[in-house]
A and B are shown apart, each in its own frame.
Chain A
Amino acid sequence: MRLAAAIEERISSFETELWPSRKVELEARLNYLEAAFVPRHREALAFMMESLGIADPHVQVPMFLVTRTNPPGAMTYYLRGDQPVAVVEVGSGEADGLLLETLLHESTHALDIASKGDDNAFDQLRARLLERGLVRSDAGFHDVPHTLMFVQAAATMRRVYDPEHVAYGDATDLYERSGAIATVENGIWPRFLNGELAREEALHQIVDALYPSSDEDPSRR
């Protein structure tokens, strides 16, 4: 009971002492996003779903803007029935373009969750990775589709919002930390987006480059 009382007291002080200034900060970011992001975001989602082979799940995704959260600063969860919900830290110090790309990245998670089982690009990637011997607990099983989400979100930024947009992965150390995965995907996926490759071929090339088949012709590696 003492713990409950202490928590209740802290929540009360949060609402009266901390929340007013946080609300001002969040409303400023909300107003910015309402003007800079929302009007074209359905176009951006359509481009991402078309690129990733996602059948539009007709969902409205709640996206909570918060002043602070634990790393990595943005997350997407799901409720009962696979309803996605996202949380994004919107610190005023982050560049506007990176914030917009973060919203698109979390949108990709949400659409992936909502369309589970629809054989989208991520499902196909995961299936190909399992075929190459990876198991679900392998880092690559998570990182290969996750890095592609960043690559696609950055491409969507350039296509819909800002042709000069610098990818989050380049502006931070994300792509450097991703290593070969980011290098391979940034080399292949834009060729699909530009119409030079079919999606299935692009996915095949990504997996082949990262996890060559043991019976593949060595001269192709």
Chain B
Amino acid sequence: MTDGRVLVTLLLALALGAGVGDTVAIAASQPEPSVPVAAASSLELRIDPLVDLYFFVRAQAADLSGAPLAGYLARALPATWPFDLDPR
């Protein structure tokens, strides 16, 4: 597991485990009776400081791709699939 994946594992474990005090979770509303068809699946919109920080760093790395730190981050943090923690 790369350093980036370790970081993401930590962030997601914290964020999805609702262990972060500042996490705001808004559960999707139940469908109104007037809605004719509603999926059983739903979305849960969230904001979380750790996730915001992580992607803020990724954005900075993308902006500053010539800088040494950004170069390190670009290599250390998976470029496209950082949440793929399944070892298959």
Contact = CB atoms under 8 A, between A and B. Distances in A.
B71 interface: no
Contacts of B22: 15, 19, 23
B42 A41 contact: yes
Contact of A38 (B29, B36, B51, B62): B29
Interface in A28-44: 30, 33-34, 38-43
Contacts of A47: 37
A172 interface: no
A79 B39 contact: no
B59 A63 contact: no
A26 interface: yes
Interface residues of A, number: 53
A57 interface: yes
Interface string B60-88: 01100000000000000000111111100
Interface residues of B, number: 41
Interface string A15-28: 10011001100110
B24 to A, nearest CB: 7
Nearest to B77: A70
A67 interface: yes
Contact of A42 (B35, B61, B81): B35
A14 B32 contact: no
A71 B74 CA distance: 13
Given A66-B56, A107-B43, A42 B31 contact: yes
A69 B31 CA distance: 31
B47 A65 contact: yes
A56 B56 contact: no
Contacts of B55: 66, 68-70, 87, 89
A85 B41 contact: no
Interface string A49-71: 11000001111111111111111
Contacts of B86: 78-82
Contacts of A107: 43
Contacts of A155: none
27 contacts: A14-B53, A18-B56, A19-B22, A27-B47, A30-B26, A30-B47, A33-B45, A38-B43, A39-B32, A42-B28, A42-B42, A43-B39, A46-B37, A49-B41, A58-B40, A62-B16, A63-B43, A63-B46, A65-B45, A67-B52, A68-B55, A71-B62, A75-B80, A78-B84, A79-B85, A79-B86, A87-B51
Given A11-B53, A67-B52, 8 more contacts: A19-B52, A23-B47, A42-B31, A46-B39, A60-B28, A60-B43, A62-B44, A66-B56
